[in-house]
Each structure stands twice: as C-alpha cells, then as structure tokens.
Amino acid sequence: GVDQWPLNQHPLASGPFMLENWDYSHALTLARNPRYSGTPAHLDRVMFRIIKEPAARILALEAGELDFVADISPHDAARLEMNPDLEIKSTHGRRFYYLQWNCRNPRLADAGTRRALSLALDRERMMETLLDGYATPAVSPIAQVLWNHADHLAPDPYDPPQARRLLREAGWLPDEADGVLRRDGLPLQLEILTRTGDPVRRDGAVIIRENLQAVGVSVTIRTLELAAGLELVNAGNFDVYFGSMTPNLYGDPSSAIHSDAIDEFNDGFYSNDQVDALLEKALGTLDREEAKPYWFALQEILQADPPAAYLFCPQRLDAVSRRIRNIRPHVLSPVNNLSEWWIAPEDRKYRTGAAP
C-alpha cells in the first residue's frame, strides 16, 4: 500500500528543513536543508521526540531533556509558570465550548428564554475553575481568531437578576410549592446531556446546573459515551447539549445555524430567516471588507436570538525553555516559525553540527 512506499521514509524537502533521521516510535530529526532557496533556518537540526504520556513529557521538560512541549494542560501551565527557566506561550484557538439549545423543545422555543438562560451562566467562574484562567469568553460560533469575528460584541455577562427579569417577561413564574419556574403549567425542567472523558464538561456541567438552578430552572445531568450522546443529539432527543466545536478556518458557521443545515450540525433545529439571509449575503460577497457588515449583523442577531449559549474558548498552551528564542506559535501550528528559532551561543548545549 501507499503507506509502505519508500518515499514515505525519505520524503523530498523543499522547505528550510529536511528529514535527517527517523527512529520509529521514538524520535524524528530534521536538519537544515542546504538546497532551500529561501532564508536558511537558524538551527542546524531539530529533534522531535515521541513521548506518549503527558506527565512524562512535562518531567523531561523540567529536567532539561526537552526544550519545547506543545499543547500542555492548564493545570501544568499554571505550575510551570513559576519555573524561571520556562515560559508559557498561549495562543487563541478556534475551539469553543457551548450549550446547544433544542429549539423544538417548547421550553426553549422562544428567544427570550434562551437569552435569559445564557445570562444566568457564570463564564468567568468556569474559565477560572475549569481552565485555570487560560481561556477567553465566547461570543458567537465565529471564533475570536477568525477574520469575520465581531470584535465589537461583548460576551454575555453573568447577570442573574436580568436573567430572572427576562424569564418573567417570557411568562415563566415560580411555583409556590418548589420554586421551579412554570409557564402554562409546564415546568422549566431541563436535562443537560454531555460526554464522558472530558473533565471540562464533567465539572462544567455541575457549575451550569448550579447557575441555572439559581434562577429557578430544574436541571439534571446525563453523561454518556460520545457516540451514544451524539446519537441522541442527531435524533433531536435532548434538551441541552454541552459540547465543543472547532469551526472552519474561513469563518462560515452555516452548517451549525442555517435552517437548511438540520442534517449537518444544526442539531438544535434553529431557524431564523434573517440569519439565513445574512449568511447568504455574506457568503455571496467575495470582498472581505464588503462582507464584514453582514457577518457582524449576523452575530448581533445570534446574540439576541441565540441558537446556543457560547461559553468559552480554551487557549492552546505550549511550554518552552527560555534558551530558545523567537518562538511564535500560531493558531495553525505551535512550530509555525520553526526556521526562525535560535539559541544564543552561551545557551547552546551541543557543538555545531552535533546531534543531541
């Protein structure tokens, strides 16, 4: 098969580095490419070591055996920040966590109720508790790092009094017996569905339940394996889904919010004619500057008539030895400018041309 082709073990190189050695399952070494026509890489060679266990990677970094570890946990980052020999590089990512409302549920069918519930959520507490503060609040399904994100919009604040006012305006009144909100005899009773294996969602669901209960919502949590949970979501058999999403790079959320995207990722059956029209105008406008007003207006509508409560965007965290200079991680890659990394002579561990 293709995976056995010799070329895969000796790939051609047209960039600043070329493959020098590949020790399967252990390490891969790149060397400066002498035939590269652009600016030569500053480093003679770079070794990528394969260490499967995150804890082992961190220990190797602290022992000086590694100079760079990508995508570390917030807990590790908070501890490594105190190490004077190390630096934490944080990069805004595309992924965000959200609560998907099922708009076919009569409890969630109106925008006022969904907007009120979003205002009941303490995003700052979630970011501090779940991610040690290494996150930013989410505003819309268009990530902060993308060109058409509406920077002028503020994230929904934590405002329980306003949430209660909006719920009252939407017709929800507390029951004298148990304090749970009811409208036309229907209790505001919601089940939050989420997946196993993600501590952020496991612990975040507890905070969300507490926030919503504080404004009169009866909340239960249901945790399932990913496949089983998504089967329920795709079938529409859920109230609220606590999920995460990594949007596409070109800033088009149509698959999650257009009324024709029910068979894609519009799992909450959201429908808004203005949203559909703005999506079509924005996507039909090739000039980015001319398209931005449509994208911005779209996100303003999504804040007033939310298909989901957009919660927070985790930062990608990379740990680096201070002896490595000019590391600039990018949203697409932590080693984005690898050819520009350099080490001062007094910080070098190895002779020029010598492998570690």
List pLDDT tens digits, range 112-123: 999 999 999 999
Mean pLDDT of 311-318: 97
Q: Per-residue pLDDT for 164 more than 70?
A: yes
Intervals of CATH 3.10.105.10 along the chain: 96-313
Torsion on CA atoms 202, 126, 269, 180, rounded to nearest 10: 90
DSSP 3-state of 216: coil
- Cα 242 to Cα 117, 205, 215, 229, 235, distances in angstroms: 14, 8, 19, 10, 16
Strand 308-321 to 86-92 pairing: antiparallel
> Distance between CA atoms of 120 and 157, rounded to whole angstroms?
8
**pLDDT of 236 strictly over 90:** yes
Q: Give this prediction's pTM.
A: 0.90
Q: Which tokens go with 187? A: 């209790």
Alpha-helical (H) ranges within 189-313 are 199-213, 226-235, 254-257, 273-283, 288-304
What is the reported pLDDT for 177? 87
pLDDT digits (tens, 9 = 90+) for 142-159: 999 999 999 999 999 999
Q: Region 190-217: what's the mean pLDDT? A: 97
- According to CATH, where is 3.40.190.10 located in the chain? 2-91+315-347
Q: If you average pLDDT over every residue of the chain, what do you get? A: 94
pLDDT at 335 over 90: yes
% of the chain beyond a pLDDT of 70? 97
| pLDDT on residue 4 | 73
Q: What is the pLDDT of residue 117?
A: 98
With 70 as the cut, is the pLDDT of residue 249 above it?
yes
- pLDDT in the model for residue 9: 77
Identify the weakest region by mean pLDDT among 1-15, 35-49, 55-69.
1-15
pLDDT of 356 higher than 80:
no
Reported CATH class of domain 96-313? alpha beta
Cβ-based neighbours of 126, under 8 Å, separated by 6 or more: 204, 207, 208, 311, 312
Would you place residue 333 in the very low, low, confident or very high pLDDT band (cuts 50, 70, 90)?
Answer: very high
Q: Can you tell me the mean pLDDT for 176-193?
A: 95
pLDDT at 18 over 80: yes
What pLDDT is stored for residue 352 in this prediction? 54
Q: Are 269 and 59 in contact (CB under 8 A)?
A: no
The domain defined by 2-91+315-347 folds into D-Maltodextrin-Binding Protein; domain 2 (3.40.190)
SS3 231: helix
pLDDT for res 320? 97
> What are the tens digits of pLDDT across the range 86-114?
999 999 989 999 999 999 999 999 999 99
Q: Are strands 189-195 and 240-245 parallel, antiparallel or unpaired?
A: parallel
1-5, 23-27, 288-292: lowest mean pLDDT where? 1-5
Residue range 217-225: mean pLDDT, rounded: 97
Q: What is the pLDDT of residues 253-266, one digit of tens each?
A: 999 999 999 999 99
